[in-house]
């Protein structure tokens, strides 16, 4: 596996959280799978992969389109987040990305830009001991337009007080990579640096 490095031009680093710093994807997968069984939806790792980076409510809306179901997106999205919170202690760090963040802590300004909810994002950071490395976290609560819109990352740059073109984004999803590109930032897809195992038991 090749080693994750930063772009030499980077003056600030912005990390996505789920699937980038924190291996939360298996936890999100099982939270959805556990909740959606009662709606007759067989939630597979392949299906989950097509929904990466979409917040819970948006995911339920997409599933309604795919399966012609009539789930209340707000309500079921909320159930999913409750289920996720029950099992989130099982998550693990994504070692190469976390090591990179630790390496540049105190050397370059850093932020987290996530599509998740603020409270759960900070709880994730806390579980993995990442809260001591980051002061700035932009969540879905802080923006109007979710990824692939660049707002999340542009807000990070603004809070970091670094021009977008000097920020490097670390992401695991297509929507996040699109958001970084639209923001005029450098970006790196971290899934090239670790093995993804979503469907296994956690």
- What residues are annotated to the active site? 16
What CA–CA distance (Å, rounded) separates 120 from 135?
15
**Cross-sheet strand order for the sheet of 110-113:** 136-138, 110-113, 12-15, 167-171, 186-189
DSSP code per residue over 123-148: HHHHHTT-TTT-SEEE-GGG-SS-TT
Q: Do residues 170 and 151 touch, judged by C-beta distance below 8 A?
A: no
Q: Do residues 166 and 45 touch, judged by C-beta distance below 8 A?
A: no
Q: Alpha-carbon torsion 77, 79, 82, 86, what sign?
A: negative
- What are φ and ψ of residue 157, in 5° steps? -60, -40
Token reading at 56: 């819970």
Token reading at 202: 């956690």
Maximal CA-CA distance, the chain: 50
């Amino acid at each position: 596996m090749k080693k994750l490095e930063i772009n030499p031009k980077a003056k600030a680093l912005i990390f996505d959280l789920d699937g980038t710093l924190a291996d939360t994807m298996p936890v999100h997968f099982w939270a959805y799978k556990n909740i959606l069984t009662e709606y007759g939806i067989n939630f597979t790792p392949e299906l989950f992969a097509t929904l990466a980076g979409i917040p819970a409510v948006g995911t339920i809306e997409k599933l309604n389109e795919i399966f012609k179901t009539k789930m209340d997106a707000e309500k079921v999205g909320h159930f999913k987040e409750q289920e996720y919170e029950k099992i989130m202690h099982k998550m693990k760090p994504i070692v190469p990305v976390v090591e990179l963040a630790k390496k540049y802590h105190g050397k370059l300004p850093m932020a987290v830009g996530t599509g998740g909810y603020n409270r759960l994002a900070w709880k994730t950071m806390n579980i993995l001991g990442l809260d001591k490395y980051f002061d700035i976290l932009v969540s879905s609560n802080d923006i109007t337009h979710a990824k692939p819109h660049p707002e999340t990352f542009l807000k990070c740059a603004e809070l970091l007080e670094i021009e977008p073109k000097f920020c490097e984004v670390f992401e695991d999803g297509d929507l996040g990579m699109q958001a970084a590109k639209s923001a005029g930032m450098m970006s790196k897809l971290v899934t090239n640096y670790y093995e993804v195992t979503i469907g296994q038991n956690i």
